[in-house]
Amino acid sequence: MSKNILIITSSLRPNSNSDALAASFAKGAVEAGHNVETISLKGKKFGFCTGCMICQKNQDGHCIFKDDAENIVQKMIQADVLVFASPIYYYEMSGQLKVLLDRANPIYPIEYNFRDVYVLTTAADGSDHTPKRALSGIEGWIACFEHAHLAGSLFAGGVDEAGEIATHKALKDAYEMGKKV
């Protein structure tokens, strides 16, 4: 059965390693027959959540701020599968992704389609512990949605320079992960 997959990439660097990981995942998912849309946060303009909670009081899935986050959040609601791709900065997800997840607060009280959430991360540090905090932060967000769960995560360590991931085995792993969605 074909699924609608939304991939959100959060690196702002051209030719980024996390974008390459996301593209490999997307290629596998498309070849498996799924519909895939990738949204990059590059060039997107959106502000911080102010915690006003109006989005939860009006229960229509809309934030009071009308910026690029609004459109992305609406696409998140409709997706069957969410994929977050992020570089690791100081052992945490990118700030752009964290701000977007905060701005996804309107989803909390309403019906949403996504069940499976995947996380793809990259970092210069290749240690096993490197992605743990980023993954934990995203798992905290997932825990707020009772029908959703972390379906898989993939970390590509030891990649620092833009495009350095080109020969990393994680690209094949991401492709295979996408095929198995």
pLDDT per residue, tens digit, the chain (181 aa), is 899 999 999 999 999 999 999 999 999 999 999 999 999 999 999 999 999 999 888 767 789 999 999 999 999 999 999 999 999 999 999 999 999 999 999 998 899 999 999 999 999 999 999 999 999 999 999 999 999 999 999 999 999 999 999 999 999 999 999 999 9
Residue 20 in 3-state DSSP? Answer: helix
**Rounded to the nearest 5°, which phi and psi values hold at 44?**
-80, 145
176/174 Cα distance (integer angstroms): 5
pLDDT at 113: 97
Structure-token pair, residue 122: 């990259």
pLDDT at 56: 87
- The alpha carbon of residue 115 and the mean position of all alpha carbons in its chain are separated, in whole angstroms, by 13
123-to-12, 91, 150, 170 alpha-carbon distances in Å: 14, 9, 20, 12
Element (DSSP H or E) covering residue 7: strand 4-9
Residue-wise DSSP of 146-167: TT-EEEEEEEEES--STTGGGG
**Rounded to the nearest 5°, which phi and psi values hold at 133?**
-70, -40
**Side chain identity, residue 172:** K
Per the listing, tokens 């390459």 go with 20
pLDDT at 179: 98
- Across 150-168, b (16+ Cβ under 10 Å) vs e yields ebbbbbbbbbeeeebbeeb
pLDDT at 58: 77
169/175 Cα distance (integer angstroms): 10
pLDDT at 60: 73
Give yes or no for a contact between 93 and 10, defined as CB atoms under 8 angstroms apart. Answer: yes
Domains of the chain as residue ranges with CATH = 4-129 (3.40.50.360)
pLDDT at 8: 98
Question: Which pTM value belongs to this model?
Answer: 0.96
